[in-house]
A and B are shown apart, each in its own frame.
Chain A
């Protein structure tokens, strides 16, 4: 399952990042790394982007970007 499929309110653990380079590095720099637990807080009023809580830290990202984050 990938992050973009999670509904607001659901939680998961990051399994893998399936993107490298610019987007992959940016995701990691913003605190997305394998093993971390996360919680989807909400979607934007027009569905996209989404807001995620990572270890007490809040990050928003587009669904197009979230589909490279594998969660379980």
Chain B
């Protein structure tokens, strides 16, 4: 039997420390995948033991093994069809009675089970004692106590798994006495025993119990595999009806009650509680954390802290990490072919574009790291269910869920979130309809990348009312998101599965450093791996769309002529100086690069000493050039320097004009013009269209593209001034429409990927791109066209739209939409 693989499944209820056990057993070798057809994570890992290769599968945490939730279906199917050699039932030892409810269901499946009583430290702290031998004897399976948080009992657990897997004998587990139901169960078992295929594949008593429970998945199995399915199903139905008539209780209620009573009996026999059990500490804490007034205040405090630590402090850290990324850029500059006077090699431009795109993403790592660590703390501490408890009333009115709170906070419920972690944290929402609704609306919240455009437009067009405009844009997204979520749940999502809210409020825990940090690192890594390839791919596409077909030959000749003229003028001016000879031919371009390099080096050099070092270095590189850069008292050199500066400026101007012309003539430019007839109702001209299109890759690009399109005339002129001058006919109303469009802008590529992963379908990913465009254009057109008709000022239109959105939000909140599991009854 050596050198074989054994399959081990971990099953357990939520909050029992199952993932700690999984991490402790499998160490670093973990792998995440999806179960086919559902968005439930399948965690696999493994370890070597005694010559065996043990493959571990961490089944999703479930309270029960019915077939009402995807997690339960997945767990059950795995056990039934993959037939693991051992199923380890992890349980919270301090909550023995509750956990046994699941244990009984595992035992009924007649599979080899090892009971793992985890969190023994809590048991000891509370002064409880558990008789392991008695428990093992009663249940008929081995019991291993552990405190996996500290690694205690890890070896023992591995030993027992090994023994159970090796003996491979059919276990004789405890049978729960279902009392009045036993005769019916026996009858079903007898009838099933005559069916060859079914009786080989599944434990019959388990089938009988499931049928009496009315389990739809098992009924379906019978329907497919039983030769006289209809007659048999009718027989079972009759049995269920008779039972309810005779004993006054639905069969499934009777079954659950019997399980709890059996759990109670066993727990009473094996568990000793300390005398005079106290009120639990968690309950006392909840008096404050869930208090009518302090609760929401505490929640706001937590959200503020999350923003402050992740966004504000995270941004501060990027000040230190950015220079590293800038080094990556200069390295790229150094290894790619040098630029000419006006012709920049395509490979150079392309490489820098890619590096810039990747850097923009890498720059977020500190923010993401802090954010993910804080989420892990919230998750481990047990505060998340409290958050859901406080917010559920508000969100459930809009088709969302109490557990939508954290995703929305991360997405930027005020200003400055990020949709990627927001969408990623939607995983925990148990209700599929609410989960999809949350995933779809997160991108409409105000993420960090939308802010530069807001700031730009507010500074130009709402300069006198900055505070109001900022308040408007920060809160309007929530007023659009809530009704949109409700509309989605009433329309495209109306047939999606819903789940009851009923939720455990687990006791509070102190998170451990190791748990928090390892999860933060793991999630950042996962995110980077998934996203970086996409970012590169999209960057390539946008680069092509912005660069090609490029400037025509005729125009190129024109720029060439201007370049020659500029150089000729320069040479004429410096003729007769000792420098003239040294700046001929290639030497002129070399001087140009030297000039730029010197400027960069001076910027980077700190203090007097640094400058001295830079000077010495550059002097050594080329003494003649250095004279021009630092003429000192040399009058001739000063004059040449002045002239050279003019030439540098002319070159910059030429490059800018060419860049603008290239974008004008590019595919994206053409698309921008092509869209103008539609976007004119929203007040967008083609230049704005191009900026918006280029933002599809990453929203930060919108401001950069606008910057390129509104060329600079004076050195140091801010984009604000350039835009105001270049678009004298743009009004605050235009700006308002543009900002509202930006709020409703489709998700960036990274978010799109996250949407695909979390929704588990390409269809929803495409929908998440399509509907915001439509919505954004509609809202922008409504505001711009109505505003124009009624001759409203930007501020008036802003106020009017705000009231409209507020009214609509309240109205949508009043529409009743009960989930189907309540409507049915």
Residue of A nearest to B277 (CB): A56
Please report which residues of chain A, range 7-60, place their CB below 8 angstroms from some CB of chain B when the two chains form the complex: 17-31, 33-36, 41-42, 44-49, 51, 53, 55-60
CB proximity of B232 to chain A, nearest CB, Å: 21
User: Which of B256, B291, B500: most chain A Cβ within 10 A?
Assistant: B500
Interface residues, chain B, CB within 8 Å of chain A?
Answer: 63-64, 66, 68, 95, 97-98, 101, 214, 249-250, 252-253, 256-257, 260, 280, 282-283, 286-287, 290-293, 295-296, 385, 389-390, 392-394, 396, 402, 499-507, 818, 821-822, 824-825
**Complex Cα gap A24–B214 (Å):** 12
Interface contact A28-B252, CB-CB below 8 Å: yes
Residues of A within 8 A of B506 (CB): 58
Take A24-B253, A30-B63, A45-B296 as given contacts and tell me if A55 and B97 are in contact as well, using a CB distance cutoff of 8 Å. yes
Is the C-beta of A72 less than 8 angstroms from some C-beta in chain B?
Answer: no
CB proximity of A49 to chain B, nearest CB, Å: 6
Closest 4 CB pairs of A and B: A46-B393, A29-B64, A28-B256, A58-B505
9 A-B residue pairs with CB within 8 Å: A23-B502, A25-B66, A31-B101, A31-B260, A41-B286, A44-B290, A45-B296, A45-B390, A62-B396
User: Which of B63, B393, B818: most chain A Cβ within 10 A?
Assistant: B393
Take A17-B253, A30-B63, A51-B290 as given contacts and tell me if A25 and B296 are in contact as well, using a CB distance cutoff of 8 Å. no
Q: How many A-B residue pairs have CB under 8 A?
A: 131
Q: How many A residues, CB 8 Å from partner?
A: 40
**Complex Cα gap A10–B402 (Å):** 25
Residues of A within 8 A of B501 (CB): 49, 60-62, 65
**Complex Cα gap A35–B506 (Å):** 23
**Complex Cα gap A47–B290 (Å):** 11
Given B66, B280, B282, B392, which contacts A29 in the complex, CB threshold below 8 Å? Answer: B66
Residues of A within 8 A of B283 (CB): 41, 53, 58
CB proximity of A63 to chain B, nearest CB, Å: 10
Interface contact B385-A22, CB-CB below 8 Å: no
**Complex Cα gap A35–B818 (Å):** 29
Take A29-B101, A60-B505 as given contacts and tell me if A47 and B393 are in contact as well, using a CB distance cutoff of 8 Å. yes
Given A22, A34, A46, which contacts B249 in the complex, CB threshold below 8 Å? Answer: A34
Interface contact A61-B295, CB-CB below 8 Å: no
Take A45-B296, A58-B282, A58-B283 as given contacts and tell me if A65 and B502 are in contact as well, using a CB distance cutoff of 8 Å. yes
Residue of B nearest to A28 (CB): B256
**Complex Cα gap A62–B393 (Å):** 9
**Complex Cα gap A30–B824 (Å):** 21
Residues of B within 8 A of A20 (CB): 214, 250, 252, 825
**Complex Cα gap A18–B282 (Å):** 31
Interface contact A58-B500, CB-CB below 8 Å: no
CB proximity of A61 to chain B, nearest CB, Å: 4
Interface contact A44-B821, CB-CB below 8 Å: no
Residues of A within 8 A of B253 (CB): 17, 24, 28, 33-34
**Complex Cα gap A60–B403 (Å):** 13
Interface contact A26-B250, CB-CB below 8 Å: no
Take A53-B283, A62-B396, A65-B822 as given contacts and tell me if A45 and B504 are in contact as well, using a CB distance cutoff of 8 Å. no
Residues of B within 8 A of A26 (CB): 68, 499-500, 502
Residues of A within 8 A of B252 (CB): 20, 24-25, 28
Residues of B within 8 A of A17 (CB): 250, 253
Given B260, B280, B389, which contacts A60 in the complex, CB threshold below 8 Å? Answer: B389
**Complex Cα gap A58–B502 (Å):** 11
Residues of B within 8 A of A68 (CB): 825
